[in-house]
Structure 1
Amino acid sequence: MTSASPRLSQEQGNRHLKSNVNTTNRIGHLLRWFRDNGGWLNINIRIAYDQSRGFHAQAVDSLTAPFFVATCPIDLTLSYLNLDNSQKFVPHVESPLRELLGQVPSHVLSYLFLIEQTKIGHRSRWAPYISCLPGPKDMTTPIWFDDEDFKILEGTNLRKAAAERLGTLERELDSAKEIMHGLGWSDVEKDKYDLTSFKWAATIMTSRTFTSSKILPDLPKFGVLFPIIDILNHDVNAKVGWDFVESQSFSLKVFTDVEAGAEIYNTYAPKANDELLMGYGFCIPDNPVEQSTIVARTPPGLIPTDWFTSDLIPFAMPESLLDDYRDHEPQLLRTRGHPFGRYESMIPFFRGFPPAIVFITYLITLHTRNIDPRTVSLPYPGGRIVFAILQQLYRAIDARCNAIPPREPLPATANEKQKFAKIYRDGQLKINLALQDELRYAMGKVMNISTTPASFMHNLLANPCIITTTEATQVLEAEFPLYYTQFKKGMQSQWEFDVQTDIKALSTRSISEDKLEDVLWTILLVIYFTVSATSPDSLINRWVQELLTSYPLLPNIASDFSFDEDSLPEVAFDTCEGCREDRMGAIWDMVAQLERQGPGLRSRAFLWAASVVQGERIDSSNLPHPPKYLRTCLYMEPVNATRAEDYFS
């Protein structure tokens, strides 16, 4: 729906229009023209102008609700329809633009018609009305921004949106001029419709028009200018009614008392600042309905089309998300306490994200792990999947936060466009920071694992966690102290440093193309796999069993199977083989003897461990509050942990 230009109430801030000269005379001419042509304005209301509020409606005496402000007959409306001789609703206007009827979109023809009526001056029947419209120099929507203004929008959605909008207007004007050329118009006639005038007319029509559907319901929808009614400023708290009489008139009614001298407002429903700035050229500081747009897209062909079905939707999210995705319309991020509410999901920290975004992220998570969604238990697909989605959303929000420059005070010389742009930018950053904090807190719940001896194992047995090889070796020490000693001795002999305490060496060294800690994780997981069967009740066994649900062992392979040269399994295998050959302990013999338990089992164990590391590795730099040294972390969750779901839902 299009609407009249909603400028701000004094409580919210002011979107004023600048006057040149003789505003009183212009208002007088406007009112005489309006009344002489069937318009009605409440005798206790006047049209006034000042620098802070621009043209606005003001109560002369106290007004008791409900009361009507004004009635505009359809005869005074302005739109492309005035060019159409085939209709009887509005007066016809003789114009060369009639030749473009049916050849250009109706909204483009309305822009061109407004330009024409402006350029002919007093000869236009709407001249008194047009004289009170803001000019190009008064415009503050982003399509009027210069490079300095755009710097404030850096990192926000509106910079791109403004460029796309301007590109659309340029194409529409070029197309219209091509049609004019084909109709034999001269260059002089065509040049009346320059880009600046076209931008101006588009801004007027998109910011001040009301939809035709209420007054002309049988025609395709288009924007209509209603003089006088469109002069009222916007206040989101105003209580008003729009009274349309089909094919006849539009009246504005107010449902709250207004004191003498007070301004009278219209409202167009709550709008976020991106819509206000892009459409109307102003923003509301601390806008209570502020939201941030995000688009749900996936690379073509990445996700099988048969995955987009209602029976595969997780987290008890609504089926309507499928329509939201197919429409490719921008989605909206919402913070806690938003007046419109948040989205349906059994996972609290996903509720700020549109369900279509969460669903796509879920499907990508399954795709990268080669998991068929039809094999996943729903509505809760497990903590590992939840945390993987959480990571991706966190990275996306973190990138959005980093893309927006730090908030700095504007210089005293800042213009109106820059002031509104900063209000918008600060609001966008505030939303994304709030969502970042919410996701960071959720991630922190599985990161804040106590390492004190009394509670360390208890916490890990009960909860999911994110750990490095440091904590993983601590668990090995707690549950299998002899194997831990042999493992630590073997690694120290092989690499000549303590893999549990020398964090700097662990985080900075590499083997071939692989980070050393990745190799160590692979070896640890092979050891976990090897010893887990010896202690079914151990935490290590519960971790391994949970990992096997997402990363099952490959089918049998030949016992003489060889890895690719320089691959992660090969490096890890060689490390273990080197330690075994040095006879560093029984743990290495146990790994070697996996072959006795099944053909190729040792090779399959290494491939399994490497696939877990490659699929699940988390760089600590991607986590909130990263440590001094870059570490490789894994998400670990005991199988059938009763509290795992509680952590996320």
Structure 2
Amino acid sequence: MRISNRVFSEDEAWNSYGQWIVSNNGYIHESLTFHTIPSSGRSIITTAPIPRGTQLVSCSHTLFLSYARARSLLPSTFTSTVNKHTSLCFALCQQWILGEASFWYPYLRILPREFNTPLYFSDADLKFLVGCNLSPSAVEERRAIWKGEWKEGLEALKSAGEESVAEYTWELYLWAATIFSSRSFPGNFVDKAHDSPVLFPILDALNHQPCKRITWQIGTEEVAFLSVDAIAAGVEVYNNYGPKGNEELLMGYGFCIPENPAETVALRFNTPPLAPEQAEIYKSLKHPDKEDYYYLTLKAGYPLELISLFRLLTAAPSEMRLLENTPYKSVSVRNELATQFQLVMAISKKLQGFETVALEEPVNQRQQAALTLRSGQQEILRSALSHSRETISSLFTEHEGKEIFSIETVLQNSVFAEAVEACFETSDVEEIIEAEQEDIVFVLWLCWKYITKDEKWSGWFDRMKGVYPMQEEMTVEEVFEAIFPEAAEAAPEVFGGEEWTAALMGWVMAVYQQEGVNVEPEEGKLVWVISNECPQ
């Protein structure tokens, strides 16, 4: 062990910590010292400029606290009984209980004793997480998992003959587990065969800054950080923990970053049972890394996996063949309208979850961090919602009366509107909707287009016959008889003629129900539309 006379900090504990690092073959650049910064706690600060490519700090293998080290510290009957995470946490608890007798005592002294991670939140703090994926219930799930590990570990210690079991309290285990969640690094950074976290003293002293460029240098005896860029004097030296959203930062580290460029929000969507034809297409789709979780970002918006799934789920039977060939593209205006509307519904429901609690101004760091998380997630959701609403409005405006038809569009035809007025005593859209007659009026209009062989619709009807063959059981005698022959007598120029039959009306009604879709061209205005597109 090398003995160093260098002063690392005015604080005795932190100075001893620096001495311990370098005395055990670690390294701290001569222009780095430990200082307290109100916004981030204890930080590493430069006392002079540091050129680019300079080694900043290193941690020797002697200082690592890994699973291999935990196995050497704890009884083999214990580590063979519990999982690796439990072994690591109990090993850290053991070293804390040893106090000054522990090799890691200088390191343990400078570790925080309390955290701003959600498991340390009060009930008032947890209210700020309502609506987030990291909800109070998710926090309690994590607590239950860790508490289960702790209880299992206590039993394993008793079985191993440990006498000081009572010292391994839940509070101590929670502290140890939080140390590993907030300060550890993946073990495979050093050895690809290691799949458990490792504590690297001194490397874990650098706070996080998104996009900060740091180079890892992994040797046979140490792990080091090198600066990619030059660092000025009198500034904090940062690490980059990777592209982590605020949910991960808060749960693991106890802080959030306003306007975090890596911020995401997860939509959990369980894929419903699929028809055989849908299931075949679903197999060809790209699926999310975590089943049923789709991550939205502010810049990228909806992930392709979510869009393609919704296009499949909202596709009409007539669109399935098109999806087989182009599962990642919009196959029709109708399909895109339906997809975007379902996204509106999903996002709106997610946003409503944030509104179930009334919040006051945050009064501590925990509440402020949680508010940063919820605000960032709400911003992403509102941006996605706005995009979908704008897409629906734009498509509807562009295609209404051309390829997209609603009850309002239908009644703009003066000949048909007069016939409806004669039969239903009104052709006013709102009155027809209020009387719940919009579906039957729409079906009558489609029948009229079929009977008159309207050239704008003939191709679509031919296509529908291929998808929905006319069958005898489709007939709707009761509905037909409620309208005819009175309709033919009231408006013979539209509803007269032998071609008006219950069979035709039943077939058109079936097509109408399968091919139609709800959309919301304006917020709060829900309309049913039919598209006469014939995409190839």
Task: Tell me which amino acid in the other structure corresponds to 1:397.
Answer: I
Equivalent residue number for residue 448 of structure 2:
527
Matches within 5 A, 1:325-340: 328=291, 330-335=293-298, 338=299
Give me the whole-angstrom Cα distance separating, in 1, the residues matched to 2:244 and 2:263.
7
Equivalent residue number for residue 314 of structure 2:
365
Equivalent residue number for residue 58 of structure 1:
45
1:127 aligns with 2:101: no
Query: Could you list the per-position Cα deviations for residues 567-614 of structure 1 after superposition, in whole angstroms to 9, with x for gaps in the alignment?
Result: xx843x234225247554243333xx127xxxxxx3332223323443
With the length of structure 1 as denominator, give the TM-score of the two structures.
Answer: 0.73
Equivalent residue number for residue 409 of structure 2:
471
Equivalent residue number for residue 176 of structure 1:
153
- Partner secondary structure for residue 388 of structure 2: helix
Matches within 5 A, 1:5-404: 24-85=11-72, 93=73, 95=74, 97-136=75-114, 139-159=115-135, 160-183=137-160, 189-217=164-192, 219-246=193-220, 248-299=221-272, 305-310=279-284, 321-322=286-287, 324=288, 328=291, 330-335=293-298, 338=299, 342=300, 352-366=301-315, 369-370=316-317, 373-374=320-321, 376=323, 378-379=325-326, 380-404=330-354
Question: Is the Cα–Cα contact under 8 Å of residues 104 and 176 in structure 1 kept in the other structure?
Answer: yes
Give me the whole-angstrom Cα distance separating, in 1, the residues matched to 2:129 and 2:368.
11
Question: Is the Cα–Cα contact under 8 Å of residues 528 and 540 in structure 1 kept in the other structure?
Answer: yes
Change (3 A) 1:194 1:530: farther
Q: Please, which of 515, 523, 526 is the counterpart of residue 625 of structure 1?
A: 523
1:296 positional shift: 5.0
Query: Could you list the per-position Cα deviations for residues 463-503 of structure 1 after superposition, in whole angstroms to 9, with x for gaps in the alignment?
Result: 43352x2320213x2xxx3x5533431222xxxxx1335x1
Change (3 A) 1:624 1:334: farther
Give me the whole-angstrom Cα distance separating, in 2, the residues matched to 1:361 and 1:309.
14
Question: Is the Cα–Cα contact under 8 Å of residues 528 and 544 in structure 1 kept in the other structure?
Answer: no
1:167 positional shift: 2.7
Task: Tell me which amino acid in the other structure corresponds to 2:145.
Answer: T
Question: Is the Cα–Cα contact under 8 Å of residues 475 and 503 in structure 2 kept in the other structure?
Answer: no
Task: Tell me which amino acid in the other structure corresponds to 2:486.
Answer: C
Give me the whole-angstrom Cα distance separating, in 2, the residues matched to 1:50 and 1:575.
80
Q: Please, which of 510, 513, 516 is the counterpart of residue 611 of structure 1?
A: 510
Give me the whole-angstrom Cα distance separating, in 2, the residues matched to 1:430 and 1:387.
23
Task: Tell me which amino acid in the other structure corresponds to 1:472.
Answer: V
Change (3 A) 1:465 1:589: closer
Give me the whole-angstrom Cα distance separating, in 2, the residues matched to 1:441 and 1:607.
36
1:405 aligns with 2:355: yes
Equivalent residue number for residue 318 of structure 1:
none
1:421 aligns with 2:370: yes
Question: Is the Cα–Cα contact under 8 Å of residues 506 and 516 in structure 1 kept in the other structure?
Answer: yes
1:376 positional shift: 4.8
Matches within 5 A, 1:451-470: 460=400, 463-465=402-404, 467=406, 469-470=407-408
1:555 aligns with 2:470: yes
Query: Could you list the per-position Cα deviations for residues 494-541 of structure 1 after superposition, in whole angstroms to 9, with x for gaps in the alignment?
Result: xxxx1335x1x32333xxxxx32223222322233222x1x42xx454
Question: Is the Cα–Cα contact under 8 Å of residues 390 and 439 in structure 1 kept in the other structure?
Answer: yes
Equivalent residue number for residue 439 of structure 2:
518
- Partner secondary structure for residue 293 of structure 1: strand
Task: Tell me which amino acid in the other structure corresponds to 1:263.
Answer: E
Query: Could you list the per-position Cα deviations for residues 290-341 of structure 1 after superposition, in whole angstroms to 9, with x for gaps in the alignment?
Result: 222224531356666433343xx5xxxxxxx14x37x516332133xx3xxx
Equivalent residue number for residue 531 of structure 2:
636
1:585 aligns with 2:484: no
Give me the whole-angstrom Cα distance separating, in 2, the residues matched to 1:180 and 1:604.
78
Change (3 A) 1:47 1:460: closer
Task: Tell me which amino acid in the other structure corresponds to 1:588.
Answer: F
Question: Is the Cα–Cα contact under 8 Å of residues 47 and 57 in structure 1 kept in the other structure?
Answer: yes
Task: Tell me which amino acid in the other structure corresponds to 1:67.
Answer: T
Change (3 A) 1:470 1:544: farther
Give me the whole-angstrom Cα distance separating, in 2, the residues matched to 1:586 and 1:472.
17
Change (3 A) 1:153 1:43: same
Question: Is the Cα–Cα contact under 8 Å of residues 384 and 637 in structure 1 kept in the other structure?
Answer: no
- Partner secondary structure for residue 156 of structure 1: coil
- Partner secondary structure for residue 175 of structure 2: helix
Question: Is the Cα–Cα contact under 8 Å of residues 79 and 113 in structure 1 kept in the other structure?
Answer: no
Change (3 A) 1:142 1:586: same
Give me the whole-angstrom Cα distance separating, in 1, the residues matched to 2:82 and 2:531.
61
1:554 positional shift: 3.4
Question: Is the Cα–Cα contact under 8 Å of residues 28 and 56 in structure 2 kept in the other structure?
Answer: yes
Task: Tell me which amino acid in the other structure corresponds to 1:195.
Answer: W
1:205 positional shift: 0.5
Matches within 5 A, 1:426-437: 426-437=375-386
Task: Tell me which amino acid in the other structure corresponds to 1:485.
Answer: E
1:132 positional shift: 0.7
Alignment coverage as a number of residue pairs:
523
Give me the whole-angstrom Cα distance separating, in 2, the residues matched to 1:260 and 1:374.
64
Question: Is the Cα–Cα contact under 8 Å of residues 238 and 266 in structure 1 kept in the other structure?
Answer: yes
Give me the whole-angstrom Cα distance separating, in 2, the residues matched to 1:298 and 1:212.
35
Change (3 A) 1:142 1:68: same
1:359 positional shift: 2.7
Q: Please, which of 373, 389, 393 is the counterpart of residue 444 of structure 1?
A: 393
Task: Tell me which amino acid in the other structure corresponds to 2:98.
Answer: I
Give me the whole-angstrom Cα distance separating, in 1, the residues matched to 2:68 and 2:468.
70
Give me the whole-angstrom Cα distance separating, in 2, the residues matched to 1:464 and 1:23.
76
1:460 positional shift: 4.9
Equivalent residue number for residue 3 of structure 2:
none
1:52 positional shift: 2.7
1:196 positional shift: 2.6
Change (3 A) 1:623 1:150: farther
Larger deviation, residues 251-260 vs 169-178: 169-178
1:377 positional shift: 6.3
- Partner secondary structure for residue 71 of structure 1: strand
- Percent sequence identity is 22
1:181 positional shift: 4.7
- Partner secondary structure for residue 432 of structure 1: helix
Query: Could you list the per-position Cα deviations for residues 142-172 of structure 1 after superposition, in whole angstroms to 9, with x for gaps in the alignment?
Result: 2222322222222121115423322322232
With the length of structure 2 as denominator, give the TM-score of the two structures.
Answer: 0.87
Give me the whole-angstrom Cα distance separating, in 1, the residues matched to 2:69 and 2:292.
33
Question: Is the Cα–Cα contact under 8 Å of residues 185 and 200 in structure 2 kept in the other structure?
Answer: yes
